[in-house]
Amino acid sequence: MFENTPLEDGADRVREALSSIEDEFNKVQKDLKQRRTKLEKQLRQRRKQVEKRFASQRRQLEKRAKKLRTEIEKNPTVKRLEGARKDARKQLEQGVADFLDSLRIASKTDVQRIDRRISQLGRKLKEMENAAN
């Protein structure tokens, strides 16, 4: 009996379309959220795998470096060079000490020894002053 006018039919169709657009939008939003969560999880897993691989490679490199260092240190030529370096250092230090002695200049160790002695005397003096008061 009551027929809808074309205007009412059009309004009903617009409402249905809006309703279906909202539903579709919510579905798309939910789908995107699930995809994001999935991608984040995959990214975390891959990052952990890469970190494990790099840690493993780092340990292997450190182990190889340590082994090579040990082998190099055992080499007779390296031992002779190390001994020569130590001897040269001692000679240089002795030469500098002799030079400073000839110029009447205190060496670093002399200054440090004197500084320690002055500090000891300063502490004893303070103790004596405190005891006198």
Q: Measure the CA angle with vertex 66, ends 65 and 67; round to 5°.
A: 90
State pTM to two decimals: 0.41
Q: What is the pLDDT of residue 6?
A: 72
The pLDDT averaged over each successive group of 10 residues in the chain (133 residues) is 67 79 89 96 96 94 95 92 95 88 83 94 94 83
Q: What is the pLDDT of residue 3?
A: 62
- The residue type found at 23 is D
- CA end-to-end span of the chain: 120
**CA atoms within 13 Å, Cβ hemisphere of 133:** 5
Q: What is the pLDDT of residue 115?
A: 94
